[in-house]
Chains A and B, each alone.
Chain A
Amino acid sequence: MMKLSTGLKFATIAVALVLAGCASKKPAPVEEAPPPPQTAPAPTSSIVPGSAEDLRVNVGDTVHFDYDRYSLQDEGKTVLQRQAAWLAKYPSVRVTIEGNCDERGTREYNLALGARRANAAKEYLVSLGVSAARIDTISYGKERPTCTESTESCWAQNRRDVTTITSGAAS
């Protein structure tokens, strides 16, 4: 596990790691945020529960980051809480968290930053009770944009973790 510096920018991840420390000693924390209501009803009928599509559409597979940061935002934590609940429901599923950056960083630095972002999400999922053995991480740096305009809104979309299913999904 990575050591923490005293720097201000590590404050948020430090909180996440403290949570992780607690979680390993006590039972997994109770889910604080139940799946939001809009995921429950109608339009999910054609989606197989426990499938990759289920994760993407009904749970949410993407969390976003601020520029040059890897601390999770509240919105991202909510998505990851839903992912943790979903992973608890489908215990045979293994996932890979893909860390990505916008184009406004040098290539090698972004590979390292993408790894930090993927790891931040992994550690949060682990703190919520998901076994670390079920989660792989990979960094794509700035090599896998989802939006190609050189604008802040596009860069914000590209600064993301995407949780993809490695194995064990329903089909």
Chain B
Amino acid sequence: MGHFGHLKKIILAIVLGAILPFAFPFSASAALHVDVNQGVSQPLPIAIPDFLGGQPQSNDAQVGANIAGVVRADLGRSGLFRPLDPKSFIEAIRNINVPPQFANWRVINAQGLVTGQVTTQTDGRLRVEFRLWDVYGESQMLGLQYFTTPENWRRIAHMISDAIYERITGEKGYFDTRIVFISESGPALHRVKRLAVMDQDGANPIFLTRGNYLVLTPRFNPTAQMIAYMSYIGNRPRVYLFDLETGKQQMLGNFPTMTFSPRFSPDGNKVVMSLERSGNSDIYLMDLRTRAVTRLTSDPNIDTSPSFSPDGRQITFESDRSGSQQVYVMNADGSNQHRISFGKGKNGTPVWSPRGDLIAFTKQASGAFRIGVMAPDGSGERIITDGWEDEGPTWAPNGRVLMFTRTGTGSRGSSIWEVDVTGRNLHRVPTPGGASDPAWSPLIQ
């Protein structure tokens, strides 16, 4: 087990959430709101002081500072919030159960205020509680508490970030999520690639393979407990499943030739992927329970990169049947295959948004690879990145943020980047060394 025992513990840990009684009149129609659709050129100023320590003779205050730090980083990274520098705070919070002096927070232009406390319980668990205040409305917007084992403090921080994000934007958050990716090391001619997972913010990276064989294109199942990926173990490139709970890997099916580009169906019961035979790649669907295999495309052209719509009824994929790589949509049984990308250049690696409203893809035009989004009927194409070789988008579970692989020229290697669906707020995701092929998990259950 070794290196993923830690991971299992984190994934299986149970976290209890409870609603804190409101400490002050609740404003049902709070003015504090961020509209995520506008891409937000003016992020919401929010004050998040370090959470208080409940037990003086303990580590509580340090954990409280750590949690507030992660919440500030999460919300700031989203581009929708601007966490204020704690040095600018006038009022020191001493008791989270009484309302703050709102005037002290208006002076520093905070519109939102988060106060919190961490208290070690007699059984060793942590109780983490927080309140979200509308500074101008002078009311509590949200109050929650969680109980957890101390090593789970980062997850609690991400859950608090999600709760704040959802309360203020009206959209689900995406901070309590993980990324499966390919970690890259070594020189360009002898690149070592390893299967790895990490938290959405780059924390807690864990390697799942040792790098002695090539691995590519990992994707989570809907419970984030299983990964489908491509492995060259034994020089036989095939799709494999990696079970994070047991650490076991198994080849998916027993195909005589290369299988690649896997993705789970939204219910997790099927994997759609490409199978290559005599040089030709078509798309197949495998039922994980019955192991029955259904062929979905059968033409002499490259058909790959399949991705289900969130309702499971359609699949977007790429094909060069028109003479160049373009994006198509078909029904989940393979019927009604039709091209949707008619813009400039080549278009591939389509991925359906979890919201269903958009398909993200890689556009190759004018000597560059860029990430774009379009409606499932191909309309409204927008290019949202501007790299030399950006490819392979993946959606945050709320459909508002994407990650992708950015590769530099020459031997500079690859890294993972994150961008808002509006094209704003582009930044690199921290990884141990080079990294590629990110895939976002759903919100962890």
Contacts and interface: CB of A to CB of B under 8 A. Distances in A.
Interface of A: 1-5, 7-10, 70, 96, 103-109, 111-113, 115-120, 122-123, 137-141, 143, 145-146, 148-150
Q: What DSSP secondary structure best describes chain A's contact surface?
A: mixed
Given A103-B407, A148-B410, A108 B261 contact: yes
A109 B301 contact: no
Contacts of A138: 235, 237, 258
Given A103-B407, A108-B349, A143-B216, A119 B188 contact: no
B394 interface: no
Contacts of B258: 111, 115, 138-139
B389 A115 contact: no
Contacts, number: 113
A53 to B, nearest CB: 20
A122 B257 CA distance: 14
B410 A2 contact: no
Interface of B: 188-189, 191, 193, 214, 216-217, 230, 235, 237, 258, 260-261, 274, 276-281, 299-302, 304-305, 318, 320-321, 323, 325, 348-349, 362, 364, 369, 388-389, 391-392, 407, 409-411, 437
B237 A139 contact: yes
A112 to B, nearest CB: 4
B392 A107 contact: yes
A5 B321 contact: yes
A125 to B, nearest CB: 13
Given A111-B258, A120-B279, A143 B214 contact: yes
B188 A116 contact: no
Contact of B216 (A7, A9, A107, A137): A107
Nearest to A3: B300
Contact of A108 (B235, B301, B305, B364): B305
B323 A9 contact: yes
A4 B407 contact: no
A107 B349 CA distance: 9
A4 B279 CA distance: 12
Given A108-B217, A109-B304, A109-B305, A119 B362 contact: no
B279 A115 contact: yes
Contacts of B325: 106, 109
B191 to A, nearest CB: 7
Contact of A1 (B193, B278, B411): B278
Contacts of A150: 388, 409-410
Contacts of A113: 302
Contacts of B320: 109
Nearest to A10: B300
